[in-house]
């Protein structure tokens, strides 16, 4: 079993200082990619929607300083045209999984696409959405929890997606335990479970001061917690 | 109780001859708006995706001949910029309810927007999506069935949405019984039920040769069936 | 279209005086059956669970005084053996739809059974459950809302169940708008919608002092509201 | 981390020879409890419903020969009264999670109860159901998959239930990967994931000739596969 890719970082890029500060700490503990939202789709149009272009600029600054490649969500064809060359993995959020025109545009670039599953998308719809992106070339699927009848957790992590996707497709599958759980205490057990079930990567929300995060602070873990999870993953994999 | 707006037409514009032929028949029975898909979001990237620009051209032709104003789905910012002036009601499909950048663009035009509910969107998310469109100005909400655990029908028509939206918001609410049921025999009872429950409009898939329809043929009703439903609605409303 | 059967009464029999008082009022407005819970299945074991045997006694008293036949829920084989002869329609709640041993026992009596749909039961499971009761003889199906992802309402009334059951089975189908909506303001529109969609009966929670009801008070309507709904139903049916 | 309890055996006791033959093999590989259904709740009243009393007799025979304690489902108060003393862990199936009268009866005995989660039960309902059994004394909760909108798998294993139950209650939690997945190839990854996430036990359907099993043959794994899973669990736990 090979070590899964670890993507980590804050929900949103909040300032140049914040993303650089966190990136430096994350670099030290050995993550593979830095994440941070510049364009934030939010249910309420009056909620903080991210720093936009400035957020991308700060992410690239953090990349220059730390050497960490970056993962961030793009939401429109224009954003893709503008930033596809500079971002290392383009994230497509669950709200845009059915945005087929956006998906088609992504197929024109050679960058890897992290395609999150729609909140109630069937496996079949998700796999078909991936095919809209240049017939699935360079697509990584990302399970991030499905909507259920129980609001005790934000969503339900469909961990069975891992063996399903591995058996029935050639796609890599990453897991986002943060948006599935919507809290911090489930991140460790769900990360370890996903790794042992065979996922190819994890994308985890981390903040050095979770209580001050501008979005999704309930689900952000500290850098120390991530460090401990990574140590347990390594042990699990026999290193 | 005022008579609801009736929008009817085929799932897709299939040819100039087809849409004009159907439009003429629908005009005779007194519908208010003609619908027909030019841009068709489809789960499978290899399914028929609509005639595109040509479809819009044929719809406008049908409008010129019959005088019927038209309703059609637009899927991208570019399509909105190109066609917002010519279409009478712009339909946003359930797959794009969370496509906030598209919604923001729509707010720049004065045309009515028929905003379909996402397949698993909560009332709160749906109402918030409407607010992305110029704070909800000119938005009509459209319930079209939600996803459930039972595949005996295509979706479950959430008819409670009618009293909920009427009581808690100022939006008009239309019902699409065709995509909820996914079959023809439920269209009449669901249409009548929606009218008596207070909906402001109905959008119904109709074809003069349902068995030959290029998409969603199971749920298309004939023009005669629609005529009979409209007669029953009028009787219900005491005309 | 024939007038649907109207079953009405309080969620729970709370006292002899209460059920008789309400029954007398309901008799005056012309309902067909009196309902009232004696055995109340409750999520929380510490909630009020009904008056039990005493509740049945008071219901029978109310029947004697008003002449109204009664509908009440039974939860165990013992209760069925004890009360099947005295109750006019035996209600089986959604929690017991899969309680096959109870269903088999019911098949030994000739009384009508009002079988509520399980909260996430498919049509197929529901119809099969009915067949456990003497192969469906004397069973009336009752749709009472299904569980969804949106807690804005208690459940989602699956009104499509009416045409589905009418087309695919020989069962009568009743609608319980009270447990679907979980509020009072949806009862009128949902009742009228169900009638026009072809339901054979309605079972509605009514209280003369809803604010004092011992259970489900949010969804109880007043006797006057029921009177007004019944008048509108009669008008709908052309009387 | 302590080694989880392993319960294994066929879906149904099919004959005296079958259950003894399988029990002997399972004993050799070191499982903790033998499972086998004598009373089988089935959606279709005409499906095989188990051998009933005879099934219990054969199970007890297998116990006598192998020394393996037994786990089996009971469905009625009568069955509980008859067999509570002889069964080592009484299983209550998901269909009976809301059967409160049955749960109350179980509280009168000192045997452990394996309480499966209802197919759409919230955590709150499940925990409350456990409290119906002598306020939760001797209850083990068992997650077995919840119903979703996607029928690619039988159900969705809600693995987040493990950290939720561990953090918020004092109950032990077991996982049934067989009924969640509904296929054989997911049993290994889901078992390992559940163990690493902290479950206290696993209940797995095993058959020595899965293709001949009288029920649920798609999800039965072979005894060899179980042996391999147990070896991997031991390795995971550092033995």
Q: Which residues of chain B have pLDDT under 70?
A: 239
Q: D16-52, pLDDT tens digit by residue?
A: 999 999 999 999 999 999 999 999 999 999 999 999 9
C160, B198: Cβ pair inside 8 Å?
Answer: no
Q: Is C60 helix (H, G, I), strand (E, B) or coil?
A: helix
Count how many pairs of residues, chain A against chain B, have C-beta atoms within 8 Å: 53
Query: What digits encode the pLDDT tens for the residues D58-81?
Result: 999 999 999 999 999 999 999 999
Res D4 pLDDT > 70: yes
- Which residues of chain C does B193 touch, with a Cβ-Cβ cutoff of 8 Å? 159, 193-194, 196-197
Cβ-based contacts of A149 with chain C (< 8 Å): 120, 147-149
**Could A159 and D157 be called an inter-chain contact, meaning their C-beta atoms sit closer than 8 Å?**
yes
Average pLDDT over chain D reads 96
Q: Which residues of C touch D96 (CB under 8 A)?
A: 98-99
At residue B151, the 3 state secondary structure works out as coil
CA distance D12 to chain C (A): 17
Q: What DSSP assignment string belongs to D184-226?
A: STTHHHHHHHHHHTT-SEEEEEB-SSGGG-SS-GGGPBPHHHH
For chain C, what's the residue count? Answer: 239
Mean pLDDT by 10 residues, chain C (239 residues): 93 97 98 97 92 98 98 96 97 97 96 98 98 96 97 97 98 98 98 98 95 90 98 89
Under 8 Å between Cβ of A5 and A35:
no
The CA distance from D156 to the nearest CA of chain C, in Å, is 14
* Mean pLDDT, rounded, of chain A: 96
- Average pLDDT over all residues of chain C: 96
Question: What pLDDT is stored for residue D71 in this prediction?
Answer: 98
What pLDDT was estimated at residue B53? 97
Q: Write out chain D residues lying below 8 Å of A196, CB-based.
A: 189, 192-193, 196, 236
Q: Give the minimum alpha-carbon distance from D147 to chain B in angstroms, rounded to a whole number.
A: 7
CA distance A153 to chain D (A): 8
Q: Residue B239's pLDDT is what?
A: 59
% of chain D with per-residue pLDDT over 90? 93
pLDDT in tens, A100-138: 999 999 999 999 999 999 999 999 999 999 999 999 999
| pLDDT attached to residue C239 | 59
pLDDT, mean of residues D129-147:
97
Given a cut of 80, whether residue A145 has pLDDT beyond it is: yes
Contact C151 A151 (CB under 8 A): yes
pLDDT band at A214 (very low <50, low <70, confident <90, very high): confident
Asked whether the beta carbons of C37 and C55 are under 8 A apart, the reply is yes
> Helix, strand, coil shares of chain A as percentages rounded to 5?
40, 15, 40
Q: What is the pLDDT of residue A221?
A: 97
Nearest to D147 among C75, C95, C120 (CB): C120
Average pLDDT on A8-25 reads 97
- The closest alpha carbon to D167, from D128, D127, D136, belongs to D127
Where residue A144 falls among pLDDT bands split at 50, 70, 90? Answer: very high
pLDDT for position A235 = 94
Q: How far is CA B169 from the centre of its chain?
A: 20
Could you tell me which chain C residue has the CA closest to the CA of D79?
C101
List the chains bordering chain C where 3 or more Cβ pairs fall under 8 Å.
A, B, D
> Helix, strand, coil: what percent of chain B each, to 5?
40, 15, 40
Residue D91 has pLDDT above 80, yes or no: yes
- Please report the sign of the dihedral spanned by the C-alpha atoms of residue B172, residue B176, residue B179, residue B185: positive
Average pLDDT estimate for A148-158: 97
Residues of chain A contacting C147 with CB distance shorter than 8 Å = 149
Spatial contact of A146 and A155, defined as CB atoms under 8 Å apart: yes
pLDDT, tens digit (0-9, with 9 covering 90-100), for D163-206: 999 999 999 999 999 999 999 999 999 999 999 999 999 999 99
pLDDT value at residue D153: 97
pLDDT for residue C238: 82
Angle at the Cα of A150 from the Cα atoms of A145 and A154, rounded to 5 degrees = 40
Q: What is the pLDDT of residues C13-39, one digit of tens each?
A: 999 999 999 999 999 999 999 999 999
Q: Which residues contact D83 (CB under 8 A, 6 or more apart)?
A: D56, D74, D90
CB contact under 8 A, D190 and A157: no
Instruction: Give me the pLDDT at residue A239, please.
Output: 59
The neighbours of chain D, by the rule of 3 or more Cβ pairs under 8 Å, are: A, B, C
In the predicted model, what is the mean pLDDT of residues A154-161? 98
């Amino acid at each position: 079993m090979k070590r899964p890719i670890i993507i980590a970082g804050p929900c949103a890029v909040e300032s140049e200082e914040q993303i650089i500060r966190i990136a430096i700490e994350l670099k030290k503990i050995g993550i593979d990619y830095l994440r941070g939202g510049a364009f934030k789709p939010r249910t309420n149009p009056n909620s903080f929607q991210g720093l936009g272009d400035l957020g991308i600029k700060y992410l690239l600054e953090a990349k220059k300083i730390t050497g960490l490649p970056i993962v961030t969500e793009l939401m429109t064809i224009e954003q893709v045209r503008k930033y596809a060359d500079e971002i290392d993995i383009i994230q497509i959020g669950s709200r845009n999984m059915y945005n087929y025109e956006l998906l088609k545009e992504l197929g024109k670039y050679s960058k890897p696409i992290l395609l999150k599953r729609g909140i109630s998308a069937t496996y079949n719809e998700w796999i078909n959405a991936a095919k809209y992106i240049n017939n699935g070339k360079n697509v990584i699927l990302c399970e991030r929890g499905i909507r259920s009848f129980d609001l005790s957790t934000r969503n339900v992590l469909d961990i069975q997606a891992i063996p399903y996707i591995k058996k029935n497709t050639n796609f890599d599958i990453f897991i986002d335990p943060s948006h599935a759980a919507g809290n911090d205490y489930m991140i460790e057990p769900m990360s370890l479970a996903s790794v042992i079930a065979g996922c190819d990567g994890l994308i985890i929300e981390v903040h050095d001061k979770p209580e001050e995060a501008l979005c999704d602070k309930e689900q952000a873990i500290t850098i120390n917690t991530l460090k401990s999870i990574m140590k347990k993953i390594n042990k699990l994999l026999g290193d």
